[in-house]
Structure 1
């Protein structure tokens, strides 16, 4: 964990600090080594939330976009079940940051538990995912939906990254970091996330590119997402643009 309770205050791990877990109130130890980012850990092999995954720099960089009070928030269901949400904003929207592999059963359990949530997935976990996604997107069929969002129909559905997140119940946004991914030979001018959508007509997973900056603003204050949209053919130099769209 990034935060623990130290003398009643929310603190990050530092050498020689002693704290308690905000979820189970048991003792946690400040792990401040050289190989891993500094964090809090329960004594022994105790883990009070089996949904929790080891914190990485990728997690930390995403959490840093949000106020500290929204990070690692205890979410309690009506029946008393408790879990630690990676990010939960002041409107109750949960953003789960997923780096490690996750079983379909656990994914669906989390979605049912949090109800109002979105996934941000680290697309760089598996090298084969990046290569497969790059090919699927670069040679994808390009169309648009009723909201005029640019929609990519992947070259193949067999890529594991698409199958891994089906069936789609809550929104999934995949983050490939600074990797340059082309759309039909065009390099988008902004850093993107890749929104996986279900085409209800065909049952296939399709992809809608959305600007990363607008996703962060959406999670912060509920503003519109900006998806890429097709430009009119009378402007051949700018094939795509970003367009505001309700989530």
Structure 2
């Protein structure tokens, strides 16, 4: 955990501190070594929240995007079941940051428990996920220009897509600063990759979302998500063939740019 209660005050882990877990009210100790990020740990290796996973720098970087009071928020259901949400905004939506593997059963349990939520998944957890995603993005078919959406037969076979289907709440894959090319062009800004379900077919398609717009959308101002849009260059008017020199050969279909 990033936060614990120390003498009634919400504190981050610091050397030689002891605190109280906000979920189970048991004692926790600050772990401040050099190998892992500083965190709070239950005494006796007790973990009171079965949904909690070892926290990484990736988790901390995402949490730090949002106000401290939104981070590690206790959520209690009507039946008194309690869990600590990674981030909960001022509109009651939960953001779960998923780095470790998660079973379909646990994912569904979390979605039912929180009700209104968003997933951000660490795409760098497995090397094979990055390679599979590159193939989809770089070799898939663009089925929509605005918003830009990409479809590929590989989405039915690649593990990263199968693990997150069916999609009930928004799922965004974070590949950090990894570079991709879409129809031969790199995205103009850093993006998250949203997985979208096509209700008519049940297929999963990929929609790149500007990363900063996601932070605003989930954040304080609640702005709209900004998807990439593919722009087609205008075609020059065709010349009429009047004999003599042969007409111009038809041009290949122009590549999209963003």
2:209 is equivalent to residue 210 of structure 1: yes
Q: Which structure has more strand as a fraction of its residues?
A: 1
How many angstroms does 1:78 deviate by? 1.2
1:149 aligns with 147
Normalising to structure 1: TM-score of the pair? 0.93
Q: How does 1:45-84 map to 2 (within 5 A)?
A: 45-84=45-84
1:238 CA drift (Å): 6.8
Runs of 4+ more than 4 Å apart: 235-238
The CA distance in 2 between the partners of 1:128 and 1:234, in whole Å, is 39
TM-score by length of structure 2 reads: 0.89
The equivalent residue for 1:131 is 131
Return closer, same or farther for 1:153/1:238 CA change in 2, 3 Å cut-off.
closer
Map residues 1-247 of structure 1 onto 2, 5 A cutoff. 1-144=1-144, 148-156=146-154, 157-220=156-219, 221-234=221-234, 239-240=257-258
In structure 2, distance between residues paired with 1:172 and 1:143: 19
Deviations along 1:125-161, one digit per CA (max 9) or x if unpaired, are 000000010011100100217xx31110024121110
Say which SS state the counterpart of residue 218 (structure 2) adopts.
helix
Give the distance between the partners of 2:158 and 2:52, measured in 1 at CA.
Answer: 27
Once superposed, what is the RMSD of the aligned Cα atoms? 1.4
- Displacement of 1:233: 3.0
**Distance in 2 separating the partners of 1:155 and 1:109:** 29
Structure 1: runs of 5 or more not aligned:
241-247
**Contact (CA 8 Å) 2:74, 2:83: kept in 1 or not?**
yes
Query: Which structure has the larger Rg?
Result: 2
| 8 Å CA contact retained: 1:139, 1:155 | no
